[in-house]
């Protein structure tokens, strides 16, 4: 550990929670230098939906490299890009009756968000964008201005402008319709909310606490955006590529976003790869107006095509993910029932779920206990109070069961020594008056 402590920046984070030197990984397992085995419920923060070192993708990548295939190509036409685009159109877009253009940005999700924000502002000639409470969109300044987390916003060192924050679905309780509020403030020229270029939203807020919006809320947001000539950007960087139970997390709502950002598991192999999808009529970029040295990773094109061919040629994989998602929900429901109504609660949907442990201290103790038992799992949320399950989608059912067993054992172990509070003390008590009549 000495070299890391002496030379690597203090900004490192995951390595503090999982202080081992890891050497190899396969599927849903990671191994340290001492050959200790860990079940991976972190999956590269959502970048490894198909697991570590997937054999099909690894073989395709090695074959491509050994053939002398291009590694770096800027935005030149390459056979790797052509084959990925053909496969993506045939097996993802056409099967969903979608018509989008593809833009390959810099290699990370925040690059895709930056491009989408720039595009929306250019097209609408408006500067503001609506973002939502607990949203997470990246660490570069434009994306960070859309991100709600104060710890990360404070690291910017300058004022973060250009965003207007509105309440996400359920943020103010089930009785208040935040879409009606959005429609009202955009309709009222004295609301103080400038007409935005776009709304950017995650259908499942991974870093914000595994909150998810209902299909009805998302449809309402889409309708309000259309009504007011505002572009709708779906940030599907973490919830996309099957995590929610369908390739795109917004499919259940039946909407057609104007712009969609993808990254993380898009490459299928954990390689850097980001992309923006947008409706053809929005493609008004001039050549080179937005670019980057590392846009279009040829190695990632190869593995992304292999991932789509392997898992998205029919709906078999999608059904398997939904089955596992139901299993996760059932198991977590039974776990939280042990601790009474109003204590622990289950968050999320599909294979993107978590347990709200009331506060970050409890959640941290649980994840530390789980790591000692051979499970790598992280926390999220305002106070890091959510234990977030983000295992590879390809995880074997018996390994999934074992991982959740470890979570349950760790919760029981921690909660045997503390009194679980009903409410977090992170927030001041807030009462929202419900004026609706019975």
* pLDDT of amino acid 175: 84
Domain spans of the chain, in order of start = 59-311, 315-415
**Helix/strand/coil (H, E, C) string of 402-434?**
HHHHHHHHHHHHHHCCCCCCCCCCCCCCCCCCC
| Token pair recorded at residue 369 | 């206990």
Q: Which CATH number fits domain 315-415: 2.40.440.10, 3.50.50.60, 3.90.1150.10, 3.40.50.1370?
A: 3.90.1150.10
Q: Is the pLDDT of residue 97 over 90?
A: yes
| Mean of pLDDT over the chain | 94
**Residue whose pair of structure tokens reads 């609706």 in the numeric block:** 436
Instruction: Give which of 168, 205, 131 is closest to 388, Cα–Cα.
Output: 205
pLDDT in tens, 265-323: 999 999 999 999 999 999 999 999 999 999 989 999 999 999 999 999 999 999 999 99
Residues of the chain above pLDDT 70, percent:
95
Whether 409 contacts 259, CB under 8 Å: no
- CATH-assigned architecture of domain 59-311: 3-Layer(aba) Sandwich (3.40)
Average pLDDT value for residue range 359-383: 97
* pLDDT of amino acid 437: 40
Average pLDDT value for residue range 167-185: 93
Average pLDDT value for residue range 247-256: 98
pTM to 2 decimal places: 0.94
| Token pair recorded at residue 348 | 């999320």
For helices 298-311 and 55-66, angle between their N-to-C axes, nearest 10 degrees: 140
What gap in Å lies between CA 288 and CA 103, rounded to an integer?
12
């Amino acid at each position: 550990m000495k070299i890391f402590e002496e030379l690597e920046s203090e900004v490192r984070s995951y390595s503090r929670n999982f202080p081992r030197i890891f050497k190899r990984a396969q599927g849903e397992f990671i191994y340290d230098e001492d050959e200790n085995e860990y079940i991976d419920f972190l999956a590269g923060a959502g970048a490894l939906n198909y697991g570590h070192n997937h054999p099909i993708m690894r073989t395709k990548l090695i074959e491509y490299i050994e053939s002398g295939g291009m590694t770096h190509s800027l935005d030149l036409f390459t056979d790797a890009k052509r084959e990925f685009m053909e496969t993506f159109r045939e097996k993802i877009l056409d099967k969903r009756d979608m018509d989008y253009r593809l833009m390959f940005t810099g290699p990370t999700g925040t690059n895709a968000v930056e491009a989408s924000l720039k595009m929306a502002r250019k097209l609408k000639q408006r500067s503001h964008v609506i973002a939502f409470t607990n949203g997470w969109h990246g660490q570069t300044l434009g994306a960070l201005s859309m991100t709600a987390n104060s710890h990360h916003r404070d690291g910017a060192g300058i004022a973060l402008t250009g965003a207007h924050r509105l309440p996400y679905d359920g943020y103010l309780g089930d009785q208040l319709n935040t879409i009606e509020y959005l429609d009202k403030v955009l309709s009222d020229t004295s609301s103080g909310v400038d007409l935005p270029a776009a709304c950017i939203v995650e259908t499942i807020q991974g870093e914000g606490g595994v909150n998810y919006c209902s299909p009805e809320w998302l449809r309402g947001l889409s309708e309000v955006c259309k009504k007011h000539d505002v572009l709708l950007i779906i940030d599907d960087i973490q919830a996309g590529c099957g995590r929610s139970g369908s390739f795109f997390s917004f499919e259940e709502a039946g909407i057609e976003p104007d712009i969609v950002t993808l990254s993380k598991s898009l490459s299928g192999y954990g390689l850097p790869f980001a992309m923006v999808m947008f409706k053809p009529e929005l493609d008004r970029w001039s050549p080179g107006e937005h670019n980057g040295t590392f846009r279009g990773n040829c190695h990632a094109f190869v593995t992304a095509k292999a991932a789509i061919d392997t898992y998205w040629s029919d709906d078999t994989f999608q059904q398997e993910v939904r089955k596992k998602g139901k299993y996760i929900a059932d198991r977590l429901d039974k776990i939280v029932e042990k601790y009474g109504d109003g204590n622990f609660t289950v968050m999320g949907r599909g294979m993107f779920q978590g347990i709200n442990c009331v506060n970050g201290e409890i959640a941290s103790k649980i994840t530390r206990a789980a790591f000692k038992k051979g499970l790598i799992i992280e926390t999220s949320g305002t106070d890091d109070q959510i234990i977030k399950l983000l295992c590879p989608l390809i995880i074997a059912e018996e390994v999934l069961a074992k991982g959740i067993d470890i979570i349950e054992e760790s919760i029981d172990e921690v909660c045997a020594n503390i009194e679980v509070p009903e409410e977090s003390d992170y927030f001041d008590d807030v009462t929202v008056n419900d004026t609706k009549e019975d």
